[in-house]
Amino acid sequence: MVKNNEYNAAETNKVTLKLMAVFLISGLVCSLAPLRLVISSQINKMT
């Protein structure tokens, strides 16, 4: 019984880590997209 609970806890930890990684990556992509637009517009102004 105890082993089963530990195994389930380990599995849920893996799932939460995966979900957190997905959220982090999607958050980074969302924050980088406007940054790229700003940077490219700045470069266009310079040239």
pLDDT in tens, 1-47: 567 788 888 889 999 999 999 999 999 888 888 888 999 999 899 87
| pLDDT of the residue at 1 | 54
Q: Which two structure tokens, joined as six digits, stand for 27? A: 């958050």
Residue 34 has, within 13 A of its CA and on its CB side, a CA count of 4
**DSSP 8-state assignment for residue 35:** H
Q: Does residue 1 sit in helix, strand or coil?
A: coil
Q: Which two structure tokens, joined as six digits, stand for 25? A: 């990556």
| Per-domain residue ranges of the chain | 1-47
| pLDDT of the residue at 2 | 63
**DSSP 8-state assignment for residue 47:** -
